[in-house]
Every structure is written in C-alpha cells, then in structure tokens.
C-alpha cells in the first residue's frame, strides 16, 4: 500500500466507531471478566471490538495483515517480514472499562517500515475521534465538527503530566517526584 487516500482513512475511522458501538453495547448489557495468560483482564467487549476491526480491515485492505492484542500472537520471524500492517488495540483500557469510568478507547494504526503513518483513537463513551496522518496533521472529530490539533508551547509551571490511573508503579512515582512541581492528571488508556 503506497498511499492512504481519504476514503480509506474515513473507512478506518468508521470501523473504529463501529468497534466503539460494539463496546458500548457490552457496557450496557453487562459482562464477565476473564484473565489472559499474562493475567491482564479480558471481556466480551474486547473480543467484540476485535472482531469488528479485524473483519472491517480485512474487507478494506485484504493484503495487509492485522496485529491485534486479542489475536493469537504470530512469531517474530513471520511479523518482521511485514512492511505494512495494521496494529490494533480493540479496547485499550480494559481495567477502566471494568471500573465503568469511561476512560477506554479503540486504537488502530497503520505501521509502515516500523513507524506509524496513520492512526485513529476513538472514545466509545463520547464518540470523539482523534486521527492523524504523517505529513497531513492531526484532527479531533466530535459531533460532526472536525478541528485541527495545534501544538503550543507549554506553560512555564506547573507542567501538566498525564499518567495511567491503573498502571502506576514505584518507578513512575519516582519519575514524577523528580519532575518537581507538576499538575498530575490521572487517566486511563490512550485518552491521556
């Protein structure tokens, strides 16, 4: 895949929103929690979003492999041959989903030669979508409105630092302490 045209980007955004809708259906209906081999949690929402995304991407770009957190892990020898592939976390923030705090997301990225070239983050609770394309900028879409994300110089102090609500450990605490005066924002998933 040499270029990613607007139609493909819009289709991937729609797939992320469909996955978000599948997650919200499970959120409304209730769910059980299982644990994977690494003891991380797994719900039917993770699997529902995974199926929506994998099916949608296979229909859209049948020649590109999909590497998803919920897929059987392929050996590195096979994956290292991939020039282009989709990297997916169907439900980033499963712990936040379980806590029902709304801080979870759907993440889809196109990786080319080991680097991201296009990405989508969708917040199922609010249906806000952030998307970016290398060389084309980053955008925030909500309720039919789309705004460019513009970077700015950070204010002098305090620095605002986003840190995981569920994965903070002693090393993170030490790093935060070394930063001096900060405003800590605890948030789950890629919504940081």
Q: What is the CATH number of the domain that holds 15?
A: 3.30.540.10
The reply, when asked if residue 29 is annotated as ligand binding, is: no
User: How many domains is the chain built from?
Assistant: 2
Could you tell me if residue 1 is inside a domain? no
- Domain, as residue range, for 137: 6-148
pLDDT level of residue 165 (50, 70, 90 thresholds): low
**pLDDT (0 to 100) of residue 163:** 73
Could you tell me if residue 99 is inside a domain? yes
118 and 185: one domain?
no
Could you tell me if residue 154 is inside a domain? no
| Closest C-alpha to 186, from 125, 128, 167, 123 | 167
CB 108 within 8 A of CB 119: yes
15 and 108: one domain?
yes
What is the average per-residue pLDDT within 64-76?
Answer: 87
**pLDDT (0 to 100) of residue 122:** 98
| Closest C-alpha to 94, from 106, 83, 85, 110 | 106
- For the stretch 115-144, pLDDT in tens is 999 999 999 999 999 999 999 999 999 999
What is the average per-residue pLDDT within 151-167?
Answer: 72
**pLDDT (0 to 100) of residue 174:** 78
Supply the mean pLDDT for the chain: 89
Residue 170: its H or E element:
helix 170-178
137 and 65: one domain?
yes
Alpha-carbon span 58 to 157, nearest angstrom = 47
**Which of 4-8, 18-22, 24-28 shows the lowest per-residue confidence on average (mean pLDDT)?**
4-8
The reply, when asked if residue 92 is annotated as ligand binding, is: yes
74 and 103: one domain?
yes
CB 176 within 8 A of CB 163: yes
Could you tell me if residue 153 is inside a domain? no
């Amino acid at each position: 895949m040499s270029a990613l045209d607007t139609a493909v980007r819009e289709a991937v955004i729609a797939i992320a929103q469909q996955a978000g809708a599948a997650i919200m259906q499970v959120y409304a209906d209730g769910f059980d929690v299982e644990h994977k081999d690494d003891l991380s949690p797994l719900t039917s929402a993770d699997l529902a979003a995974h199926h929506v995304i994998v099916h949608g991407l296979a229909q859209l770009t049948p020649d590109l492999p999909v590497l998803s957190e919920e897929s059987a892990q392929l050996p590195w020898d096979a994956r290292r041959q991939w020039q282009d592939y989709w990297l997916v976390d169907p439900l980033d923030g499963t712990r936040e989903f379980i806590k029902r705090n709304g801080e979870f997301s759907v993440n889809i990225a196109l990786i080319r030669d080991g680097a991201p070239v296009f990405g989508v983050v969708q917040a199922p609770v609010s249906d806000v979508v952030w998307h970016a394309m290398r060389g084309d900028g980053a955008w925030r879409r909500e309720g039919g409105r789309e705004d460019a994300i513009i970077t700015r110089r950070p204010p002098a102090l305090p620095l605002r630092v986003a840190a995981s609500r569920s994965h903070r450990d002693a090393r993170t605490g030490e790093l935060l302490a070394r930063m001096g005066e900060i405003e800590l924002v605890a948030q789950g998933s890629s919504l940081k």
